A and B are shown apart, each in its own frame.
Chain A
Amino acid sequence: METSTEKSETALAQPKAKSTTGQTIVELRGVTKVFWRGKEELRVLDGINLDIPEGSFEALMGPSGSGKSTLLNLIAGLDRVSSGTARVANRDLTTLGDSDLAKFRAQTVGFIFQAYNLMPVLTARENVELPLLLTNLSGAERKKRALTALRVVGLEDRTEHYPRQLSGGQEQRVAIARAIVNDPAIIVADEPTGDLDRKSADDILNLLDKLNREFKKTILMVTHDPAAAERATILRKLDKGVLI
């Protein structure tokens, strides 16, 4: 019988055949998110209904303040809905406690931030290894997996470099390796090319494309960049908290 760790290792090391299961990995129903500024109510998301099929590569666009990042945060379990239901990878996020929500993020979601957000005191390999500290894997196994993830993103020759020794594009690739090292069900990317020049941005988009096509990763990407959005298989637009 294949263990979950073996399965995870296999998933990262070997590309999958091009196919999608067709199952829904994200299911939002009537999701509303309200923030309060003093006594003033700010309705950032208003009755969102959304289904994202497993294995898809979706881009979410919209003007600033339209609620894109908030929607991404809710799907990733970084924040909680004000009302409605949010199911991701068969987990009802509205019923999970803080501890279970943290586990959900560690096991199910891979994050890619606009500003990379690598820890400067850790090498590329150690940054990628970071999410694995929450597992029971041995040090040797963690290292092996981190190196595999770095190989997938094409940074096998930069494993012991610190973030300050890498270019912006390379830093973002380390961040992507960190996002996939746990073999998450869904990758969420918030403006992943926002801080990069065109060439580096194209490299990152090619990599995301590869993760989607070859490794069957579901990707949800918030972007302002039309060129980035073109890479997605589905494009969704959000305006004033409503999907249009």
Chain B
Amino acid sequence: MTIGGIGIRNVWRNKTRTSLTVLGGAVAVVAFILLRTVLWAWNVGVEYSAKDRLATRHKVSLIMPVPKRYVDNIRQIPGIKETTWANWFGGKDPRRPDEFFGTLAVDPASFFQVYSEMSVPPPDLARWQEDRRGAIVGDVLARKLGVKVGDKVTLQGTIFPGDWEFNVDGIYVATQKSVDRSQLLFHWAYLNESLPERNKDLVGWIISRIDNPSQSAALTMAVDKLFDEKDVQTTTMSERSMNNSFMAAFSAILTALNIVSVIILLIMMLILGNTIAMGVRERTREYGVLRALGFSPKHVATFVIGEALTIGVLAGVLGCALSYPIVQLGMGRWLEENMGAFFPYFRISLETALFAAALSVLLGAVSAIIPAMQASKLTIIDALRRVG
């Protein structure tokens, strides 16, 4: 028997209240883990960006195109290994117009050389490269659209109006967790030939693979310098910076999520604090007896904090345990299937789980500070006079 041990035993004196408090704390931990995982998954594309890839876009905005001839210019720069390009197409499945997935017009000859983390069986790739109306579909999107190799799929263009029919020539899978497996890729030439003359031969952005990642900074400057005197100037950046700038557009949402996660923790602390305060009120007389027996105010505070820590540990452990089926297996799978462009890989990281559990324990202790101070400041006589 120890002083802390008695505090732990006190936790279970009111089993219903403690159970509800632990459950409340656990729900808060689950909500916290969910929000932190959303933030983590949102940034996973940035975290897993290739170090040896550069992206070049119009200097003014990502939505403004650059001339396709720039691709050939960039290929001439020493240190550039491979270069490809893409246009955002903005196609939708007319059967499910509310569902979002990425549709890109790409160069079939070079795209998978630059994006080697997307894998297509070589015969399918070869067939696609020869098929001007062919498309390669991510495995998650193929499942969602219910298509397989050999099928036809028709999309409605939102940026380039009309019905666009594609032959599904292959399914790509990801060899890296940051890859969006819900994209449809088709020939840039197919799009280009359908455009009016003034819009022809323009590309959305250019992606280059470089020989040596340590030369990344020098090469970004070299690329942009190449077009400094041209009508259309460019901004070149590492893939990580490009993804970061994309994420910056959603910074308000991310900040809001951060704030909500903090608020959830504060609510959890108040729930714990209230329970501990009720326990202290009920046991005031016992604390008086302990003081009469020679226990110090510090000992009394240890009783109270030990109780709060126990509840914090239980809430943290239960919250982490519940998070796996709820967040990872339930919501995570759904988000990967339906919002793969934003959440290609939705998993609870070990750091998030440990952080949540540690915070739960810490907040348990913090929530007990005021009740512990009140309990330790009671005079013995006042405490002994207190009834139940």
A residues adjacent to B (C-beta < 8 A): 73, 76, 78-79, 98-99, 102-107, 111, 113, 117, 119-122, 126, 129-131, 133-134, 139, 142, 178
CB closest residue in chain A, given B381: A79
| A78 engages B381 (CB within 8 Å) | yes
- The reply to whether A117 and B296 form a contact with Cβ atoms under 8 Å apart is no
Residue of B nearest to A125 (CB): B1
Of B171-179, B180-188, B286-294, the one touching chain A: B286-294
Residues from chain B with a CB closer than 8 A to the CB of A129 are 1
Let me know if A111 and B292 touch, CB within 8 A: yes
**Roughly how many angstroms separate A120 CA and B14 CA in the complex, as a whole number?**
12
Instruction: Please report which residues of chain B, range 1-28, place their CB below 8 angstroms from some CB of chain A when the two chains form the complex.
Output: 1-3, 6, 9-10, 12-13
Contacts of A120 in B (CB 8 A): 13
In angstroms, Cα B294 to Cα A113, docked, is 15
Across the interface, B294 reaches (CB within 8 A) one of A73, A107, A117, namely: A107
Shortest A128–chain B CB gap in Å is: 11
Neighbouring A residues of B9 by C-beta, 8 Å: 121-122
Kindly list chain B residues whose C-beta atoms are within 8 Å of the C-beta of A79.
379-381
Query: Shortest CB–CB separation between residue B53 and chain A, in angstroms?
Result: 63
A117 touches B6 (CB 8 A): no
Bound together, the chains give a CA A178 to CA B294 distance in angstroms of: 12
In the complex, the answer to whether A122 meets B294 with C-beta atoms within 8 Å is no
B285 sits at the interface (CB 8 A)? yes
Beyond A113-B289, A121-B9, whether A99 also contacts B296 by CB under 8 A is yes
B295 within 8 A of partner (CB) = yes
The interface of chain B, by Cβ under 8 A from chain A, is 1-3, 6, 9-10, 12-13, 285-286, 289-297, 379-381, 384
Residue ID in chain A nearest B294 by CB atoms: A106
The winner among A106, A117, A178 for most chain B CB atoms within 10 A is: A117
Interface SS, B side: helix
Q: Knowing A78-B381, A117-B286, A122-B9 are in contact, say whether A102-B1 is a contact too (CB < 8 A).
A: no
Residues in chain A near residue B291, CB distance under 8 A:
102
Q: Does the CB pair A134–B295 fall under 8 Å?
A: yes
Residues in A neighbouring B10, C-beta threshold 8 A: 121
Given A73-B381, A78-B380, A131 and B294 contact (CB-CB distance below 8 Å): yes
CB-based contact B13/A78 at 8 Å: no
Contact B294 A119 (CB under 8 A): no
> Which A residues touch B12, using CB under 8 A?
121
Residue of A nearest to B2 (CB): A133
User: Which of B1, B285, B379 interacts with A117 by CB under 8 Å?
Assistant: B285
- CA distance in complex: A178, B290 (Å): 12
Contact B294 A102 (CB under 8 A): yes
**Contact between chains at A102 and B295 (CB < 8 Å):** yes
What's the Cα separation between A107 and B1 when bound, in Å?
Answer: 20
Asked if A78 contacts B294 (CB within 8 A), the reply is no
Interchain nearest-CB distance for A98 vs B (Å):
8
Contact present for A76 and B292 (CB under 8 Å) = yes
Kindly provide the distance from the CB of B133 to the nearest chain A CB, expressed in whole angstroms.
76
Task: Pick 18 A–B contacts, CB within 8 A, sort by A.
Answer: A79-B380, A103-B294, A105-B293, A105-B294, A106-B295, A111-B292, A111-B293, A113-B384, A117-B286, A117-B289, A120-B13, A121-B9, A121-B10, A122-B9, A129-B1, A133-B2, A133-B3, A134-B293
A108 to chain B, nearest CB (A): 9
Smallest CB-CB A-B distances: 9 pairs: A106-B294, A121-B9, A117-B289, A105-B294, A78-B380, A131-B293, A102-B294, A111-B292, A102-B296
Given the complex of chains A and B, what is the CA–CA distance between A133 and B302 in angstroms? 13
The chain B residue with its CB closest to the CB of A146 is: B1
Excluding A105-B294, A113-B384, A117-B286, 8 further A-B contacts by CB distance (< 8 Å) are A73-B381, A78-B381, A79-B381, A105-B292, A107-B294, A119-B286, A120-B13, A134-B294
Q: What is the CB-to-nearest-CB distance from B325 to chain A, in angstroms, rounded to a whole number?
A: 34
Q: Which residues of B contact A139 (CB under 8 A)?
A: 1
Residues of B within 8 A of A133 (CB): 1-3
Closest Cβ–Cβ distance, residue B10 to chain A (whole Å): 6
Which residues on the A side are within 8 Å of B290 (C-beta)?
Answer: 130
Most buried by B among A99, A103, A113, A130: A130
Most buried by A among B290, B292, B295: B292
How distant is the Cα of A196 from the Cα of B386 in the complex, in angstroms?
Answer: 21
Q: How far is the CB of B16 from chain A (nearest CB, A)?
A: 16
A126 to B3, CA, bound (A): 11
- B293 CB, min distance to chain A CBs, angstroms: 5
Closest A residue to B288 using CB positions: A117
Q: When chains A and B are docked, how far (Å) is the Cα of A102 from the Cα of B298?
A: 12
